[in-house]
Amino acid sequence: MLINRCLASENIELCETVQDRNQAIATLSHNLAVFLKCDRSAIEQAALVREKARTTAFANGAAIPHCRLPGLRDFGMALMILRQPVDWDSEGHKVDIIAMITGPSHNVSAHLRILANCSQLLDSLSLRDKLKTAPSPKAAYDLVCTAEEAIERRRAEHGMLRELHSDHANGGDYLREVTDQFKW
């Protein structure tokens, strides 16, 4: 399962900021519930429980809240890009890009593939910077899908272990070549 199959431009929020982590998760849960045709509160509660167990925020300003629920048949992803970061957790993380993933509890391998791709995307400084200037949800969607294609090509050429090693070309950010294609 790839991000381009579970993310739609309608599930991308470009906003100035949100009040707090809970508001971000509530908004993204609503988008996912509409996309997956399921109960918003189940998604929201599962994501909040996961966040309380262990933060999904990274020091780079991104967070990937995620959950798996019984009864779902498909995966969904929603993305929120904030112009101003929000305090995310008690560890002091400030987050301005949130990628929320929800899927069926029985499909662990697909969940892990989506998480891996999302982590690779959000590990790229050039991609995060470009997303923060996206003029529209459709533009952000196109960028994410193009970058994911680059990740998949790289994985096919070099294997999974390549992801664990730093790429010193482009300052360690191999997705810079992708982001440079987007002129906005």
Catalytic positions: 66
Give the three-state DSSP class for 175: coil
The distance in angstroms from the start CA to the end CA of the chain is 29
CA 15 to chain CA mean position, Å: 16
Here the tokens at position 80 are 């929120």
Residues 175-178: contacts with CB under 8 Å, at least 24 apart: 175/121, 175/124, 175/126, 175/127, 175/147, 175/150, 175/151, 176/124, 176/126, 177/150, 178/127, 178/143, 178/146, 178/147, 178/150
Residue corresponding to tokens 């070309």: 169
| Cβ–Cβ under 8 Å, residues 63 and 95 | yes
| Cβ–Cβ under 8 Å, residues 68 and 1 | no
